[in-house]
């Protein structure tokens, strides 16, 4: 794919306080881009600046960082935020640890936010968009034994695996592609990462690393036999930047994943790495989890995925975006180191 150099106009990066978005902001600044980051609350601007300052090769790069206040559920400010920008990188979307009682509480902000962002970009004459989706918009469908999921697959909202989060990401991405069909000048790429781990830029790492924290704390004597694709946040960011810089990436989805592991496998890896901690490694029997789920909503969420380990084909991102994905063990290890630094 051909590549374009950064331009002087800023990139609007939504949800800049997020685990993934902070890393994208860092990499955009290092690559020569100007960044306009969106916040729900201006009070978090200092948090983002501090996180980036700690990792930038040159603190002067912060001179190319600015902020706007936006809400996924409100129209106010979107067109002004996109005015004078060269591209939109839309990462903002709800990601709860526990599924809400009303699934519309996360579906509507995700779908409406994606459409609001796309419409504001189109109205501002901004045609280049990179949207952070997820493999949960891909994997809730049935494949043959041993078959890996690819970008051609789409989650079915009616599939047993589709909880509110799966639906939110699937319907939001579908809405974005439907918008492109009506406005063919829009050049959309989506990055569909699996479970994003790795090293956060600060202690505000959100839902993704809470899974690792839970295992490290030994909260559960056994772990559910569920599996995930795993990817390092640095590689997810690299995929976003590569898609942004490559015109040929427009119109395409890209899976970002480095391999898959079950929670007991993750537990065993962490137990070997941190032998002084009491880390669970055994798989919990299904009947035990069914009983525990009556009292713990986070366990109830995982029941449909028991015994399932999806595999993902990330060869398109490797081949066409030039991204090399670190082994899942590295992503887990870096996440664990960051979590332990906060726990100890």
pLDDT digits (tens, 9 = 90+) for 57-76: 999 999 999 999 999 889 99
Arithmetic mean of pLDDT, 313-340: 97
Q: What percent of the chain has pLDDT over 70?
A: 93
Which bin fits 125, alpha (ψ -120 to 50), beta or left (φ > 0)? left
- Cβ burial of 213 (10 Å; 0-12, 13-18, 19+) is middle
Q: Is the pLDDT of residue 223 over 70?
A: yes
Q: Is the pLDDT of residue 321 over 50?
A: yes
More confident call, 305 vs 165:
165
pLDDT grade for 95, boundaries at 50, 70 and 90:
low
User: Taking all residues of the chain, what is their mean pLDDT, rounded to a whole number?
Assistant: 91
Q: How far is CA 119 from the centre of its chain?
A: 22
6 pLDDT exceeds 70?
no
- The pLDDT score that the predictor gives to residue 102 is 80
The pLDDT of 258-275, averaged and rounded, is: 96
Q: What is the pLDDT of residue 2?
A: 43
Kindly indicate the confidence band of residue 146, based on its pLDDT and cuts at 50, 70 and 90: confident
Mean pLDDT computed over 279-298: 78
Region class of 30: left (phi > 0), else alpha (psi between -120 and 50), else beta? alpha
**297: Cβ–Cβ under 8 A, 6 or more apart, which residues?**
98, 99
pLDDT of residue 294: 66
Structure confidence at residue 288 as a pLDDT band (50, 70, 90): confident
pLDDT for 105: 84
- What is the reported pLDDT for 269? 97
pLDDT at 298 over 70: no
CA atoms within 13 A on the CB side of 208: 29
CA 99 from chain center: how many Å?
17
Task: Select from 6, 121, 12, 118 the least CA-distant residue to 65.
Answer: 12
- On whether the CB atoms of residues 195 and 258 are closer than 8 A, the answer is no
Q: How many whole angstroms from its chain centre is CA 208?
A: 9
| Token pair in block for residue 202 | 């600060």
pLDDT tens for each residue of 9-60? 899 999 999 999 999 999 999 999 999 999 999 999 999 999 999 999 999 9
User: Which ranges of the chain does DSSP label H, i.e. alpha helix?
Assistant: 19-30, 45-53, 78-82, 104-123, 164-182, 206-216, 233-245, 263-273, 286-292, 297-302, 315-320, 328-343
Report helix angle 328-343 to 263-273, nearest 10: 60
Task: Evaluate if residue 286 carries a pLDDT over 90.
Answer: no
Mean predicted confidence (pLDDT) in 140-168: 91
DSSP string, 283-322: BPPHHHHHHHTTT-HHHHHHGGGTT----B--HHHHHHS-
φ, ψ of residue 255 in degrees (nearest 5)? -75, 135
Residue 276 makes CB contacts below 8 A (sequence gap 6+) with none
pLDDT score at 76: 93
**How far is Cα 225 from Cα 280, in angstroms, rounded to an integer?**
12
- Which pLDDT belongs to residue 308? 83
How does strand 227-232 pair with strand 260-262?
antiparallel
pLDDT class of 159 with cuts at 50, 70, 90: very high
What integer pLDDT is reported at residue 150 of this predicted model? 97
- Count of helices and strands (H, E) across the chain: 12, 10
Question: Is pLDDT at 290 greater than 80 in this prediction?
Answer: no
d(CA 312, CA 340): 29
Which residues have CB under 8 Å from 54's CB, separation 6+?
201, 202
Give the pLDDT band of residue 1 (cuts 50, 70, 90).
very low
Identify the DSSP state of 339.
H
């Amino acid at each position: 794919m051909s590549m374009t150099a950064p331009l002087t106009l800023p990139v609007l990066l939504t949800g800049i306080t997020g685990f993934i978005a902070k890393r994208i902001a860092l990499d955009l600044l290092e690559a020569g881009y100007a960044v306009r980051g969106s916040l729900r609350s201006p009070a978090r601007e200092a948090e983002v600046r501090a996180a980036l300052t700690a990792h930038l090769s040159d603190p002067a790069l912060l001179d190319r960082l600015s902020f706007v206040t936006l809400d996924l559920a409100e129209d106010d400010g979107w067109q002004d935020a996109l005015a004078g920008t060269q591209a939109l990188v839309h990462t903002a979307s709800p990601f709860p640890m526990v599924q809400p009682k009303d699934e519309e509480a996360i579906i509507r902000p995700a779908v409406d936010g994606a459409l609001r962002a796309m419409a504001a970009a189109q109205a501002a004459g901004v045609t280049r968009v990179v949207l952070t989706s997820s493999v949960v918009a891909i994997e809730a469908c049935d494949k043959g034994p041993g078959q890996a999921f690819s970008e051609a697959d789409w989650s079915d909202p009616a599939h047993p695996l589709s909880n509110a989060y799966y639906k939110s990401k699937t319907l939001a991405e579908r809405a974005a592609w439907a918008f492109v069909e009506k406005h063919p000048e829009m050049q959309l790429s989506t990055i569909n990462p699996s479970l994003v781990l790795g090293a956060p830029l600060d202690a505000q790492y959100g839902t993704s690393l809470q899974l690792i924290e839970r295992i490290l704390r030994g909260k559960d004597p056994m772990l559910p036999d569920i599996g995930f694709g795993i990817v390092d946040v640095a590689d997810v960011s690299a995929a976003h930047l590569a898609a942004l810089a490559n015109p040929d990436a427009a119109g395409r989805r890209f899976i970002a994943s480095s391999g898959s592991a079950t929670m007991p496998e993750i537990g065993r890896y962490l137990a070997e790495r941190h032998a002084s901690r009491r880390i669970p490694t055994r798989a919990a029997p299904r009947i035990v989890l069914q009983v525990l789920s009556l009292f713990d909503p986070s366990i109830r969420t995982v029941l449909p995925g028991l015994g399932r380990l999806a595999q993902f084909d990330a060869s398109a991102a490797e081949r066409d975006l030039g991204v090399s994905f670190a082994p899942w063990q590295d992503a887990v290890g870096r996440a664990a180191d960051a979590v332990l630094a906060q726990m100890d």
